[in-house]
Amino acid sequence: MNDTVRINGGVAVITGAASGIGAGLARHASLLGIKLVLADQSADALNKVASEISTDVIAVPTDVSDDEAVDALAVTAFSEFGSVDLLFNNAGILTSGLSWDIEKAIWQRAMDVNIGGVVNAIRSFVPRMIAADRPARIINTASVGGFYPSPLMAPYSATKFAVVAITEALAGELAQFGSKVSVSLLAPGPVKTDLMRDEAPAQSSKFMQSLRAMADRKGLTPDQFAPLVFAGIERGDYWIIPQPESLDDRLRQRTEMILNRENPFAPDLHKGKTT
């Protein structure tokens, strides 16, 4: 069923489309002839990205943590274009710091955006996609950091682990019901975006600096990254992991550590490896 998801002439909804990976996905999708519904909380930046898209496009300022706003986004997408072939749950935020110092509101925001945003979209879009009774694909963005937790980024690690879990559960549910809707888990490695640009608290500023330097050195640009994502979609991949070098060794080590009942190692926090 995966291979028949419509690309050219299809419709994609992309959250977090005003910047970085989401904007890159939007630009590449338009090159493939996909009509777009772009959503982001930053209305001005979103309109700017939309103005550079050559296919049919609508920009819908949306805070993905707001369930009513996400429902309105789904209503708009289906009423304007009649179907949704691809849904990219891409919006996300990263904050750093010591777990016990991070304010409750910041912990809550990470959960509301990174988990709540995905949950809201699942609740609003999946029933409509199932009712449309045509092949469609949901692409949930976690991170390679959704497979191994990082000190000084507990809210990010926790929420990205949750996205990995929610996505796998959703895939199982849809398969069990014989749905034409399929799912992919997208786990980016370093991509040069604004994700890590926010000022970090003193305890994590060196760590974040090293992560930023690593992303600037090794990261792909969003426009290099997007075609790799679409290649995975066109293959019908569940796991879309365009930079396996950022995941495989760490995942193997972590799995071994758990199977061997070893303690987590104490990393050098000034040598950030990934997001």
Ligand X SMILES: NC(=O)c1ccc[n+]([C@@H]2O[C@H](COP(=O)([O-])OP(=O)(O)OC[C@H]3O[C@@H](n4cnc5c(N)ncnc54)[C@H](O)[C@@H]3O)[C@@H](O)[C@H]2O)c1
Which residues are catalytically annotated? Answer: 156
- Binding ligand X (rule: CB under 6 A), the pick from 11, 14, 21, 25 is 21
Q: Which of 2, 42, 203, 205 binds ligand X (CB under 6 A)?
A: 42
Tally of CB atoms within 10 A around 103 = 10
Return the structure tokens found at 53: 């898209």
Nearer to ligand X, 126 or 215 (CB): 215
Name the one range near ligand X by CB under 6 A: 79-87, 119-127, 190-198, 229-237. 190-198
Q: Is 1 exposed, middle or buried (0-12, 13-18, 19+ CB in 10 A)?
A: middle
Determine the Cα–Cα distance for residues 229 and 20; give it in Å rounded to an integer. 14
Phi, psi of 71 (to 5 degrees): -65, -40
Q: Decide: is 147 part of the binding site for ligand X (CB under 6 A).
A: no
- Pairwise CA distance, residues 123 & 144, whole Å: 25
**Nearest distance from residue 158's CB to ligand X, in Å?**
13
CB of 205 to ligand X, least distance (A): 18
Site membership for ligand X, residue 65 (CB under 6 A): yes
Cα gap 275→267, rounded to integer Å:
14
* DSSP notation for 191-206: B-SSTT-SPPPHHHHH
Measured from the CB atom, the residue of 96 and 135 that comes closer to ligand X is: 96
Q: Which two tokens stand for residue 117?
A: 């945003």
Angle at 209 between CA 207 and CA 215, to 5 degrees: 105
- What minimum distance in Å lies between the beta carbon of 19 and ligand X? 3
Determine if 242 is a binding residue for ligand X (CB under 6 A). Answer: no
> Nearest Cα to 95, choosing from 172, 156, 12, 17?
156
Question: Closest approach of Cβ 162 to ligand X, in Å?
Answer: 12
Pattern of binders to ligand X over 126-145, x per CB under 6 A? Answer: ---------------x-x--
Residues that bind ligand X (CB under 6 A): 15-16, 18-22, 40-42, 62-65, 90-93, 113, 117, 141, 143, 188, 190-191, 193-195, 215, 219, 275
